[in-house]
Chains A and B, each alone.
Chain A
């Protein structure tokens, strides 16, 4: 069982570039989320999904898009990268809203 897989692990972008962070889970979980982690600020929720075809905004959604066409995949798109988006991004999945969330290993993104 791979759990939650994120790719890439590291990425450097230039300001204005776009890219997609990939997240896949093989646990048949309905709930998936994207968080960003910044020093002293913990994890902040960007977007989440409660099932295929359903997404919603979290605390800090601006500059990011998501889609959920399958149960397994939940990609995060940066439309036009900005230095303020330099962060570590984590994808998580869970069976429902109150059970254990499983996290990927993270993607460290630097925007220059």
Chain B
């Protein structure tokens, strides 16, 4: 079992509301990620972090923002939610591998946060 937790699991809100999706891991991992997943589609990376005070945008453009003030926390915030933000958001973490040939950087996922914006 992976020690990475997401809250809330489900959220239904109205357009224009500000929301924060929480993600915490107790494995001491340096690298953390946020993915967006729609039904039947592949996961898309929207944000990642190499460690405290490090945040980078992923491959998929997103209006959300993230912060990494503590190693274990990587919250995602939407300042003004819209129906187009309706999706499943998955948080993940991995060790910052040394880059050796056999480093695989096992990725551990949280259970996901299902966001519906009305």
Q: Do A and B come from one complex?
A: no
Chain A interface (Cβ < 8 Å from any Cβ of B):
none
